[in-house]
Amino acid sequence: MFYLGYDIGGTNIAAGIVDDTFAIRARSTAPFPLGEPYEATVDLMLSQMEQMCAQLGIACSELACIGIAVPGSIDPSCQRVINAHNLRFYDVPLVQAVKDRLPEEVPVYLANDANAATLAELRAGALKGCSTGVLMTLGTGVGGGLILNGQLFNGGMNNGVELGHMILQHNGPACTCGANGCLETLCSATWLVQQGKRAVEEYPNSHIAAAAQNDIRRVDAKTVIDCAKAGDAVALAIFARYVSQLSDAVCSIIALLDPEVIAIGGGVSHAGNFLFGPLRKQVDATCFFGMHHGKIVPAVMGNDAGIVGAAMLGYR
């Protein structure tokens, strides 16, 4: 069987047709038509579908289902995009719009992109076989999703899962959501960037300042991580604080859900064992269940998580 997945981002619409082994058999990327009415996006999606089906020599009606992942909130019936700011999609009936354009009846599903990525990790990645699992993605923000009872969990009231907005620091830094001290304010790549920029200004002789040529605009999370790996004391101190914050976040989730696996993805996770080694050590030392907690592992689906997860939304 073939499953079509779309991962719509503010830059590109990435699409793929996935088979029963969760392998991507055809791919297509189109620039996202930012600022145009959503119908322009649907046009592009349809032509991507036709092109990929042709490439595989199948009719569109042979698709078992179509899934769409978007970076934003979805209505509880999973039919409309309520708010996807990066796409400028506000209350868009995306499922119906795609269905209306299909030559044949094919089921169409819609999900938040973090949920789609979590489903991809469940089917084919780091959460395979889990009854209770968590995906955390550490990027510009912090996203993720939950597997409960062996299935993707979309919140008890279908509002979704927003683990980046768990509160980790009462009265902490202001978050874009309006609350303070959200996990996202302390565990995102953005936190590392902010601290790196401050270090460039405060410690002009640090390795970080040199790496950024004393220009704060050149500081990204990788700058801080690379300088820490190279042994720079300032960068090491920032990274140690980051690990300590992330450990508290992980311990908080473990205290509530005691998951079998916590998979961590996103840009910061590319630090590899330099992150996972000290993180596991600190969680072992802090976690209520001592060392009896579940595994903390890198997510494995990478950039394909959205496509594969979207394609799998209708997989049973």
Question: What's the min distance (Å) between Cβ of 110 and a second copy?
Answer: 18
Q: Does 71 bind a second copy (CB under 8 A)?
A: no
Q: Does 179 bind a second copy (CB under 8 A)?
A: yes
134-173 residues in contact with a second copy (CB under 8 A) are 146, 148-149, 155-170, 172
CA distance 180 to 24: 40
Do the Cβ atoms of 314 and 109 come closer than 8 Å? yes
- Three-class DSSP category at 86: helix
CA distance 234 to 87: 37
Helix axes 189-202, 233-257, angle to 10 degrees: 160
Sign of the Cα pseudo-torsion (55, 61, 64, 70, in order)? positive
Do the Cβ atoms of 310 and 45 come closer than 8 Å? no
Helix (H) or strand (E) segment spanning residue 202: helix 189-202
Please give the size of the binding site for a second copy, defined by CB under 8 A.
50
- Both tokens of 240, joined, read 């140690």
Q: Does 281 bind a second copy (CB under 8 A)?
A: no
Question: What's the min distance (Å) between Cβ of 178 and a second copy?
Answer: 7
Do the Cβ atoms of 306 and 120 come closer than 8 Å? yes
Q: Does 288 bind a second copy (CB under 8 A)?
A: yes
Q: Does 186 bind a second copy (CB under 8 A)?
A: yes
Question: What's the min distance (Å) between Cβ of 129 and a second copy?
Answer: 12
Residue 263 bridge partners (DSSP): 135, 297
Q: Does 255 bind a second copy (CB under 8 A)?
A: yes
Question: What's the min distance (Å) between Cβ of 195 and a second copy?
Answer: 14
Do the Cβ atoms of 144 and 161 come closer than 8 Å? yes
Q: Does 57 bind a second copy (CB under 8 A)?
A: no
Residue 105 bridge partners (DSSP): none
Query: Which is nearer to a second copy, 15 or 119 (by Cβ)?
Result: 119
Question: What's the min distance (Å) between Cβ of 173 and a second copy?
Answer: 11
Query: Which is nearer to a second copy, 150 or 272 (by Cβ)?
Result: 150
CA distance 147 to 119: 8
Stretch in the footprint of a second copy (CB under 8 A) among 2-10, 93-101, 194-202, 289-297: 289-297
Stretch in the footprint of a second copy (CB under 8 A) among 39-47, 231-239, 243-251, 307-315: 243-251
Interface residues toward a second copy, by CB under 8 A: 130-133, 146, 148-149, 155-170, 172, 177-179, 181-182, 186, 244-245, 248-249, 251-253, 255-260, 286-289, 292-294
